């Protein structure tokens, strides 16, 4: 470097220290003055955002606000589990007597019974004995013309007979539907009046027939009756079949 250019550079180098010394003695100019702009460089780019600061302390609670409006009713929740049963409460006082009920039906609604006696001596063997003296036959379930009892109410029945034995031996049987159920035999003692009897419980269905008859030939036909000696036959319903009635 030589000539005018070298001279100009030397002049600037001598002037700059002088200006710096003067500037230090005077009040520092505002960086925003034109001189500062002449001395400063171009503006830099904005810096990166700094790290967030730490959370501050919680402030004091504010005043209680006014009550808001009631919201809409929510949907029905699921049913909860059943709780434990509570303790039994104290016993209450007796209540007032109720009104009298209507009269009910009698206990014995179904009735069937008969009681008959013999009027003729020495009935015929192997046929139903016709007891024609009627003591009781309100339901007419016994037929005096045939000597048979006809079941009209299915159920359990009791039958019994008490016979006077005279002049010869007696052997009788009680029949149900053409089949002998029980037998009674009594041996006659001369110059004496004897007794023969029997009883049985039978279950009968509607339409069944029951009767008494002399069993065998005439040698066993000592059934007897007169004005002071009776031979009787009876039967009655104990209880009906509830599943039928």
Domains of the chain listed by start with CATH number? 113-240 (2.60.120.40)
Residues of the chain with pLDDT > 70, as a percent, come to: 80
* pTM, full prediction: 0.56
Half-sphere exposure of residue 215: CA atoms within 13 angstroms, side-chain side: 17
Please give the pLDDT value at position 52: 83
Residues of the chain with pLDDT under 50: 15, 18-27, 35-36, 38
Please give the pLDDT value at position 243: 74
Distance of CA 102 to the CA centre of its chain: 29
233: left (phi over 0), alpha (psi -120 to 50) or beta: beta
């Amino acid at each position: 470097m030589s000539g005018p250019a070298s001279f100009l550079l030397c002049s600037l180098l001598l002037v700059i220290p002088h200006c710096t010394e003067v500037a230090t003695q005077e009040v520092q100019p505002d960086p925003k003055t034109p001189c500062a702009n002449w001395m400063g460089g171009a503006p830099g780019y904005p810096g990166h955002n700094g790290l967030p600061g730490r959370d501050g302390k919680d402030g004091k609670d504010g005043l209680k606000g006014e009550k808001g409006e009631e919201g809409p009713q929510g949907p029905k929740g699921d049913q909860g589990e059943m709780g434990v049963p509570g303790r039994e409460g104290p016993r209450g006082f007796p209540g007032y007597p109720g009104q009298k009920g209507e009269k009910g039906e009698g206990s014995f609604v179904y009735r069937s019974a008969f009681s008959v006696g013999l009027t003729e001596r020495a009935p015929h063997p192997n046929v139903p004995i016709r007891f024609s003296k009627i003591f009781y036959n309100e339901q007419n379930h016994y037929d005096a013309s045939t000597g048979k009892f006809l079941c009209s109410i299915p159920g359990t029945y009791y039958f019994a007979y008490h016979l006077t034995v005279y002049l010869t031996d007696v052997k009788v049987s009680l029949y149900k539907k053409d089949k002998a159920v029980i037998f009674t035999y009594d041996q006659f003692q001369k110059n004496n009046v004897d007794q023969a009897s029997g009883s049985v419980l039978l279950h009968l269905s509607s339409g069944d027939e029951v009767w008494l008859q002399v069993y065998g030939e005439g040698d066993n036909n000592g059934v007897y009756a007169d004005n002071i000696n009776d031979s009787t036959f009876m039967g009655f319903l104990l209880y009906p079949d509830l599943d039928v009635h």
